[in-house]
C-alpha cells in the first residue's frame, strides 16, 4: 500500500466542551515534506486540534486521516510515527538528559541499542552532549526546549508536531531552535507548527492557516497570503481621530484596506495611491513599511486582547 | 504497561533509601511499640503471643501504606506538576496501559515493602514458616487493591490535600479495624461480618495463616482469596475508567 500524499487529512472537525464550541468545522491538509503553520489567538482551537490528532481529545464530529489511516482505529499505529514538542515542558524531572531520551524511546518500543545510538546522535545535533548526565532542573530554558525537540525525534517521526516550540526563549536560544528546525525541514520532515511568533511561522511554514473562534478564516502561502489579502505595504499614520476618519473617506477611491485604532490609522496598499501620498506629507508621524504576517493576523483576528 | 512500570522502577532505584525508610518506618515502629511494649501485658491470642499475632498483619499494612502512598502522592505528582502522564500519552502508550502500569508499579512497591518487613521479622524473634512464601502472591494482590484505590483518588483529586480524606477515611480505619491489632473472632457476629468485608481483613487473616503455617482453617482461604481478587479487579477497572475521564477529554 502506497501512502497518500497528505500526511494529515482532516475534514469538518468539530469539538465542544460542554456548551463551549471550540472547533466549528475545520479542514486541514498537510502535504508530505511541507510545514503547516496554525495561527490564531489564544483559545482559537490550535492546541485542541493537536490534542485531537494525538488522541488526547475526542472530537465531537469530523473525519481524520493521518498517513491515510482513519481515526479512531488508527490512533495507536499512527502515534509510533509522530513526534511532539508540547507547549508545556513535560520533561521527566526524575531523570537525567540521556535517560529522558532512553525512557521515551522505550515507550515507542525502540530497542535499547538503537535508542542509545540515536540518543547520542540527537544530543550531538542539539548541542547537549556535554550535559548528558545532568538532571533536568539544571538546564536553561533553551536547553530544555532543545531536549524536548530531541525527545520528539527519538522515534524518527514522519510527522513532527510543534506546539509553540520556542515559547519563552530568548532571541539567541530561539535562533538556535530555528536553525535546527530549518535543518530538519531541509531533510524533508513534515511539520505541523503552532506559534504566536509570526517571524517563526514566516521562516518555517510553507503554508499557513489562520484560525479564529474555531474556524479557519484564511489560508495560503505565508509569502503571498499577506499580499493577496492585505496588500504589499502598510502605512501607519498618527493623528487626530476625527481627521483620520475623514481621510478614510477620501481614500475610498483607492484600492486600500484601512484600519483605525485610536489615534493611529493603518492603510494596507495593494498599489500606489496619490491621495494617500499627499495626505501623508501633512501628517506628523508616518511610517511606510512592507506588510507582514503579523499585520494580517491582527487585521483578521482584531487587536483586542483575547481572554476568556 | 510494563514500559510505564519500568519508568517508575528506574526512578525508584535512584531514591532507594528515602523511599524504603519512608514506607517501612511506621509498621516497624508499631511492631516495636505494640509487640514489645503493649505485648508484655497482653495475654496470648489464638495461641500466639501478641507480637506474633500482630506481625503478619503489620506486614500486610506495610504493603497497604506503600502501595497507597505511591498511587496517590507519587502518581498525582506525575499527573499534575510533572506532566509525566501527558508526556507518556503523547506516545503510543494508551490510557489503559498507563493506568495499569501505575497500578502494577504501586503493587510492586507495596510488595517490596512487605517482603522486607517479612524478612526482618526473625530479628524481632518472630519466625515465619515455609508457608509464608505463599504470602508473596497474596501481598501482591493486596498491593494491586491499594494502588488501584490510590489511583482512583488521584484521578479525582484537585490537590494534595484531597488525599487527607483517603488517609483518614480509608487507610487509617483499615489499619485499625482489619484485625491486625485484635482478633475479629472476638467481636460480635454482625460487626465481624462488616469488618470481614474489608479487603485488608481478608489479607490479614490469610497472612496470619500462611505466616505460621496454621492451615487448620484452610478451607476459608478459597473464599477469601476470591474476595480480594474480585476487589482488585473491580478497583483497577474503576481506576482505569476514572483516569481516562480525567486525561482524555
pLDDT tens column, B97-125: 999 999 999 999 999 988 888 888 888 77
Sheet hosting strand A69-70, strand order edge to edge: A20-31, A6-17, A61-66, A69-70
Residue A307 lies in a domain: no
pLDDT in tens, A46-66: 888 999 999 999 999 888 999
Q: Which of B1, B74, B83, B87 to mutate to test the interface with A (most CBs of A within 10 A)?
A: B87
**pLDDT for the residue numbered B22:** 67
**Do the bridges between strand A69-70 and strand A61-66 make them parallel or antiparallel, or are there none, so unpaired?**
antiparallel
Please check whether residues A30 and A83 belong to one and the same domain: yes
Please give the sequence-ordered ranges of beta strands (E in DSSP) within B135-247, or none if there are none: none
pLDDT in tens, A296-305: 788 787 766 6
Please check whether residues A37 and A165 belong to one and the same domain: yes
Residue A130 lies in a domain: yes
Please check whether residues A239 and A216 belong to one and the same domain: no
Cβ-based contacts of A136 with chain B (< 8 Å): none
Instruction: Compute the distance between CA of residue A53 and CA of residue A199 in angstroms, rounded to an integer.
Output: 25
Please check whether residues A94 and A189 belong to one and the same domain: yes
Contact across the interface for A103 and B91, Cβ inside 8 Å: no
Please check whether residues A168 and A237 belong to one and the same domain: no
Instruction: Compute the distance between CA of residue A169 and CA of residue A193 in angstroms, rounded to an integer.
Output: 16
Cβ-based contacts of B83 with chain A (< 8 Å): 86, 88-90
Contact across the interface for A90 and B86, Cβ inside 8 Å: yes
Q: How many helices (H) and strands (E) does chain B have?
A: 12, 0
Strand, helix or coil for residue A2: coil
Please check whether residues A211 and A67 belong to one and the same domain: yes
Cβ-based contacts of A57 with chain B (< 8 Å): 248-249
Bridge partners, B65 (sequence order): none
Instruction: Compute the distance between CA of residue A209 and CA of residue A30 in angstroms, rounded to an integer.
Output: 11
Minimum distance, in Å, between the CA of residue A54 and any CA atom of chain B:
6
Minimum distance, in Å, between the CA of residue A107 and any CA atom of chain B:
6
* Residue A123 preceded by cis peptide, ω within 30: no
Q: Write the DSSP string, B46-66.
A: TTB-HHHHHHHHHHHHHHHHH
CA distance readout (Å), B133 to B7, B119, B210, B217, B238? 28, 11, 8, 18, 30
Cell of A281: 506629507
Residue A298 lies in a domain: no
Q: Write the DSSP string, B99-110.
A: HHHHHHHHHHHH
In sequence order, the 6+-apart residues with CB closer than 8 A to the CB of B199 are B142, B145, B227, B228, B231
Could you say which of A76, A86, A103 has the minimum Cβ distance to residue B92? A76
Could you say which of B87, B90, B248 has the minimum Cβ distance to residue A92? B87
Q: What sign for the dihedral angle of Cα A117, A122, A128, A133?
A: negative
Please check whether residues A189 and A262 belong to one and the same domain: no
When pLDDT is averaged across residues A150-156 and rounded to a whole number, the result is: 90
Q: Which residue has the higher pLDDT, A262 or B74?
A: B74
Average pLDDT, chain A: 84
Rounded to a whole number, what is the distance in angstroms from the first to the last CA of chain A?
Answer: 46
Cβ-based contacts of B247 with chain A (< 8 Å): 56
CA-wise closest residue to A100 among A146, A158, A54 = A146
Please check whether residues A96 and A47 belong to one and the same domain: yes
pLDDT in tens, B22-70: 667 777 787 788 777 777 778 888 888 888 888 899 899 999 999 999 9
Inter-chain contacts counted by CB atoms under 8 A, chains A and B: 67
pTM (2 d.p.): 0.85
How many structural domains compose chain A?
2
Interface predicted TM-score (ipTM): 0.83
Please check whether residues A161 and A268 belong to one and the same domain: no
**pLDDT for the residue numbered A220:** 83
Residue A290: pLDDT band (50, 70, 90) is confident
Instruction: Compute the distance between CA of residue B195 and CA of residue B201 in angstroms, rounded to an integer.
Output: 7
Count CB-CB contacts under 10 A for residue A228. Answer: 12
Strand, helix or coil for residue B123: helix
Minimum distance, in Å, between the CA of residue B57 and any CA atom of chain A:
33
Percent with pLDDT over 90 in chain A: 16
For chain B, the structural domain boundaries read 2-247
**pLDDT for the residue numbered B154:** 93
Cβ-based contacts of B82 with chain A (< 8 Å): 90, 92-94
Bridge partners, B134 (sequence order): none
A46 burial level (CB within 10 Å; 0-12, 13-18, 19+): buried
CATH of the domain at A116: 3.40.50.300
Please check whether residues A39 and A84 belong to one and the same domain: yes
Count CB-CB contacts under 10 A for residue B59. Answer: 32
Sheet hosting strand A35-39, strand order edge to edge: A82-85, A159-163, A190-194, A35-39, A207-212, A215-220
Please check whether residues A161 and A285 belong to one and the same domain: no
Could you say which of A58, A79, A93 has the minimum Cβ distance to residue B91? A79
Residues 144-183 on A with a CB inside 8 Å of B are 155
CATH of the domain at A274: 3.30.70.860
Cβ-based contacts of A148 with chain B (< 8 Å): none
CA-wise closest residue to B248 among A206, A57, A256, A69 = A57
Contact across the interface for A107 and B3, Cβ inside 8 Å: yes
Please check whether residues A127 and A195 belong to one and the same domain: yes
Bridge partners, A20 (sequence order): A17
Please give the sequence-ordered ranges of beta strands (E in DSSP) within A125-189, or none if there are none: 159-163
Contact across the interface for B90 and A86, Cβ inside 8 Å: yes
Domain range spanning residue A275? Answer: 231-290
Contact across the interface for A56 and B247, Cβ inside 8 Å: yes
**pLDDT for the residue numbered A5:** 83
Contact across the interface for A57 and B248, Cβ inside 8 Å: yes
Q: Which residue has the higher pLDDT, A265 or A96?
A: A96
Could you say which of A58, A86, A90 has the minimum Cβ distance to residue B248? A58
Contact across the interface for A56 and B248, Cβ inside 8 Å: yes
Contact across the interface for B249 and A54, Cβ inside 8 Å: no
Does B81 have pLDDT greater than 90?
no
Could you say which of B86, B93, B247 has the minimum Cβ distance to residue A107? B93
Amino acid at each position: 500500500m502506497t501512502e497518500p500524499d497528505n500526511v494529515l487529512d482532516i475534514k469538518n472537525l468539530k469539538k465542544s466542551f460542554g456548551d463551549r464550541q471550540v472547533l466549528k468545522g475545520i479542514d486541514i491538509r498537510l502535504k508530505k515534506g511541507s510545514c503547516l503553520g496554525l495561527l490564531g489567538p489564544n483559545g482559537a482551537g490550535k492546541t485542541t486540534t493537536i490534542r485531537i490528532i494525538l488522541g488526547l481529545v475526542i472530537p465531537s464530529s469530523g473525519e481524520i486521516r493521518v498517513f491515510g489511516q482513519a481515526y479512531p482505529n488508527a490512533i495507536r499505529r499512527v502515534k509510533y510515527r509522530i513526534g511532539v514538542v508540547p507547549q508545556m515542558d513535560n520533561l521527566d524531572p526524575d531523570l537525567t538528559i540521556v535517560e529522558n531520551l532512553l525512557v521515551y524511546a522505550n515507550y515507542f518500543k525502540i530497542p535499547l541499542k538503537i535508542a542509545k545510538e540515536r540518543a547520542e546522535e540527537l544530543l550531538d545535533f542539539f548541542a547537549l552532549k556535554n550535559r548528558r548526565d545532568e538532571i533536568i532542573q539544571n538546564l536553561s530554558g533553551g536547553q530544555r526546549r532543545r531536549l524536548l525537540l530531541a525527545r520528539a525525534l527519538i522515534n524518527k517521526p514522519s510527522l513532527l508536531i510543534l506546539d509553540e516550540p520556542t515559547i519563552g526563549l530568548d532571541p539567541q536560544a530561539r535562533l538556535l531552535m530555528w536553525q535546527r528546525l530549518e535543518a530538519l525541514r531541509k531533510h524533508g520532515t513534515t511539520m505541523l507548527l503552532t506559534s504566536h511568533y509570526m517571524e517563526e511561522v514566516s521562516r518555517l511554514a510553507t503554508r499557513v492557516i489562520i484560525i479564529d473562534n474555531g474556524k479557519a478564516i484564511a489560508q495560503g502561502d505565508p509569502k503571498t497570503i499577506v499580499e493577496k489579502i492585505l496588500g504589499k505595504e502598510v502605512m501607519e499614520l498618527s493623528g487626530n481621530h476625527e481627521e483620520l476618519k475623514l481621510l478614510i473617506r477620501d481614500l475610498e477611491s483607492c484600492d486600500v484596506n484601512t484600519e483605525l485604532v485610536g489615534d493611529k490609522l493603518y492603510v494596507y496598499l495593494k498599489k500606489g495611491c496619490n491621495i494617500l501620498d499627499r495626505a501623508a506629507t501633512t501628517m506628523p508621524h508616518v511610517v511606510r513599511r512592507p506588510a507582514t504576517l503579523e499585520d494580517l493576523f491582527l487585521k483578521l483576528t482584531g487587536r483586542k486582547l483575547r481572554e476568556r | 504497561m510494563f514500559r510505564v512500570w519500568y519508568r517508575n522502577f528506574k526512578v525508584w532505584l535512584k531514591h532507594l533509601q528515602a523511599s524504603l525508610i519512608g514506607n517501612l518506618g511506621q509498621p516497624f515502629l508499631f511492631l516495636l511499640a505494640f509487640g514489645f511494649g503493649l505485648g508484655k501485658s497482653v495475654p496470648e491470642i489464638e495461641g500466639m503471643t501478641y507480637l506474633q499475632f500482630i506481625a503478619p498483619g503489620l506486614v500486610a499494612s506495610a504493603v497497604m501504606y506503600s502501595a497507597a502512598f505511591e498511587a496517590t502522592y507519587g502518581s498525582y505528582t506525575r499527573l499534575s506538576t510533572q506532566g509525566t502522564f501527558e508526556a507518556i500519552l503523547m506516545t503510543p502508550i494508551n490510557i489503559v496501559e498507563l493506568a495499569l502500569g501505575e497500578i502494577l508499579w504501586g503493587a510492586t512497591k507495596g510488595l517490596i515493602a512487605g517482603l522486607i518487613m517479612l524478612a526482618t521479622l526473625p530479628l524481632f524473634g518472630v519466625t515465619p514458616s515455609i508457608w509464608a512464601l505463599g504470602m508473596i502472591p497474596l501481598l501482591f494482590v493486596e498491593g494491586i487493591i491499594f494502588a488501584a484505590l490510590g489511583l482512583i483518588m488521584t484521578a479525582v483529586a484537585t490537590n494534595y490535600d484531597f488525599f487527607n480524606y483517603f488517609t483518614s477515611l480509608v487507610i487509617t480505619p483499615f489499619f485499625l479495624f482489619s484485625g491486625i491489632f485484635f482478633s475479629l473472632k472476638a467481636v460480635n457476629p454482625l460487626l465481624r461480618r462488616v469488618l470481614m468485608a474489608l479487603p485488608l481483613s481478608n489479607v490479614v487473616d490469610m497472612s496470619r495463616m500462611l505466616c505460621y503455617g496454621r492451615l487448620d482453617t484452610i478451607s476459608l482461604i478459597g473464599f477469601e482469596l476470591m474476595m480480594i481478587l474480585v476487589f482488585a479487579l473491580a478497583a483497577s477497572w474503576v481506576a482505569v475508567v476514572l483516569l481516562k475521564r480525567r486525561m482524555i477529554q
